[in-house]
Amino acid sequence: MTSKRPSDHDPDERTDDGMNPSRPDSGDLSPSDAERAALFALDALDAAERAAVEEALDDDRALERSVDGFRAVTDALLESEPEAAPSESLRARFLKGVADGSMTSASKLRAVGYPSSPPCDRVADAVWKPMPWPGITIRVLDRDPETGRVVFVLRCEPGAIIPRHRHVGSECFYVMRGDMRNLEDPSMAPMRAGDFQFNPSRSYHAEFQTTEGCDLFVVAHSAEYLD
């Protein structure tokens, strides 16, 4: 049996990660590797594929040249996109939202077309609004009117109770500070900072109470908290 020397390497042979074995300054890429280079430059690969290309870039000069070439093209296309002025109605809605505090940073992004320097909601400018439940206020971080998804922080004073309710959509909440305990299930240990809970759509959320006070980071449906 004869063994292959490096110079006898089959250009279509694949490693386990799907890339051709390294071939520094090996000339043109195969069509599949050229496609990967283009997708890598566009940031369109999943994590595993991206990691495979990044590893191959260390010693594959042809691949590196190809990625650099694709990036130069995509950068030129982005820079050639003409700036578009917003309509008067869009501009008016945007300015009104900024003035009355109803527009979150993510809403601003959607309104202006995702600029390169996204706005940031600063803690000093935070708007906290009272909930119908005593001792609880809400700071909305983002609200998507199309899906109903809302991202917010609930601030609960010591002794405050979140009443039993049914979830319109799925809900995720993370305890940032303090404690929260289930009043309907005494066997459940109190949730504390760092704990996370997922509640599926249409499920019932038991009555919860905080002893020390708490801050909860929540992703839920707006119908449950805002509508």
Choice between 66 and 131, residue whose per-residue pLDDT is larger: 131
Task: Give the C-alpha separation, 143 to 107, whole Å.
Answer: 7
Taking CA atoms, 203 is separated from 11, 58, 184, 206, in Å, by 55, 50, 15, 10
Type of residue numbered 137: T
Number of H helices, E strands in the chain: 6, 11
Q: Report domain extents, the chain.
A: 24-80, 87-119, 128-225
Stated pTM of the model: 0.50
Task: Give the C-alpha separation, 62 to 56, whole Å.
Answer: 10
Using one digit for the tens of pLDDT, what is the confidence trace for 160-191?
999 988 877 888 889 999 999 999 998 999 99
Residue-level pLDDT at 150: 86
Task: Give the C-alpha separation, 212 to 215, whole Å.
Answer: 10
* pLDDT for residue 95 is more than 70: no
Superfamily classification of domain 128-225? Jelly Rolls (2.60.120.10)
Confidence of residue 86 (pLDDT cuts 50, 70, 90): low
